[in-house]
Structure 1
């Protein structure tokens, strides 16, 4: 039985299915993530699902998003899908997300029919057994209690062998490996698995760019926000099976940090790749 104090998986599954209100027009509800701003993963997942509804029998192979303005978690997001092109093999969609007439998010996605082709991949890194690692959620929950900050349930389990440095604060390499899996079966809707993956891919991505500088996520000087986010879906993935996010940050400069991720299943097969650049400003402390 799923512990509702730790997980909100079913809520997120419902959230990721925006309501269709007209031809190529959708409305997605918002939810609270501990911040007055909408979680970026929400718009990533909802926009991909909305676009996918307009492309039957083709799966997304890439999506590229830009976060334009902070979204208000108390308001829904309206999505308009533009059918840019439908070819013999590929389809292209552009999605614009708005709140109160303001554009807060833009995404482009490409979909492809299933086909065979040449195959190779970047080898998987050394992997721990996720079933032998403790869940990070209890650590997060207990830390929230000790610091007086409410723990917000999450839709997946996170497991890593570095919980001692989970929230930063110590100078470390710009690499991180985290196992992820939903705590319950999610069915066989591949578009939902892809949208759910897009949602989860925004969790803690930018933390990797903070590690070489010993900056904690709760540092009061830190201003951090996603600027853009891209995903390439290499092979059909399932979010109710363990996936390893192998992340690195090759650069931070100009108040921005860049992060890459390669995502593998337990057999070491490369399922997806992702990139994100985000704002990581350190503001001067008020005296």
Structure 2
């Protein structure tokens, strides 16, 4: 890292830390406008379309607001239908599909401009005891020994966009914007992540924060395998669907290892899988997503964007 880059990485930005975390908590605190209808907004500083993790997290909040607190979400399945417009609110319509003795099922449709942009189905369960087993966590360095996001992106200004970053992300594997310089690599990625501040104790909020964060680096393995990255190459992409299974309690403001891989890419779609582990090795969630990834090859005489 150059001295100028190091200075930029360590200078305060006001875009992370507790204030950004508080803003994220507020972002997920939807307005109830009817019994089963909620309204959410996007941050004032937003990309050109709504971040997929935001709409998924808000939809899960909407579903949870219609379910008794003692029933915890254990799985969700969602589809991204249209790009979200960050300039206007998103309306979340909840369908109370089933309330059983042990399980509750909800379906949420996110609407903008009179059209569905996202759907989510979520299942909630009363706590039960039973058999237990889990995959082991990979051996990785401690998160506090790894570069911060600003340090890791200091030599890549396009990667250090001035948007709020409420999630602290530390790469264990080489970041894909660096590994792309050596060409195609491993179809895998490992990062430590957590909310960059203190969260309230509400367990449902921690689940929704994880849902938000799970969309941040999940497709890295797909891109790394082909030696490309957003903004640095001509890559058009979007989340298509997103599924999560929540296995055990956790706190989203404590370090979680996000171990992801891509088993397949075809038809301009890339499949990615991920597992979240706590620092003490507990497997707390599993994620699967398919994303649209179109890599536009440079024409003759045109190099890749740097």
1:129 is aligned, of 126, 137, 142, to: 142
C-alpha distance after superposition, 1:166-210 (max 9, x if no partner): 454132111111001112221210110011110011102112101
* Equivalent of residue 92 in structure 1, options 105, 108, 111: 105
Tell me the TM-score normalised to structure 2 length.
0.87
Cα RMSD of the aligned pairs, angstroms, is 1.9
TM-score using structure 1 length: 0.93
Structure 1 residues 176 and 85: alpha-carbon distance in aligned structure 2, compared to 1, 3 A threshold: same
Q: Which runs of 5+ in 2 are unaligned?
A: 1-11, 301-306
Which residue number in structure 2 is paired with residue 214 of structure 1?
Answer: 227
Q: In 2, are the aligned partners of 1:139 and 1:163 still within 8 Å (CA)?
A: no
Query: Is contact 1:167-1:216 (8 Å) kept?
Result: no
Equivalenced residues, count = 284
Residues 148/108 of structure 1: CA separation in 2 closer, same or farther (3 Å cut): closer
For residues 23 and 142 of structure 1, what CA distance do their matches in structure 2 show? Answer: 49
Match runs of 1:45-194 below 5 Å: 45-56=57-68, 57-140=70-153, 143-144=156-157, 147=158, 150-163=161-174, 165-166=176-177, 168-169=179-180, 170-194=183-207
Deviation at 1:142, TM superposition (A): 5.4
Q: Corresponding residue for 2:6?
A: none
Q: Distance in 1 between matches of 2:101 and 2:170?
A: 42
Match of 2:50 among 38, 43, 56: 38
1:118 aligned counterpart, secondary structure: coil
User: What residue ranges of structure 1 are gaps of 5+ in the alignment?
Assistant: none
Which is worse superposed, 273-282 or 164-173?
164-173
For 2:197 and 2:16, how far apart are their aligned partners in 1? 13
Report SS of the residue matched to 1:59.
strand
Which one of the candidate residues 236, 239, 243 is aligned to 2:252?
239
Stretch of structure 1 that moved more, 89-98 or 28-37: 28-37
Give how far 1:4 is off: 2.2
Moved beyond 3 Å, runs of 4+ = 147-150, 161-168, 284-287
Quote the offset at 1:30 in angstroms: 1.4
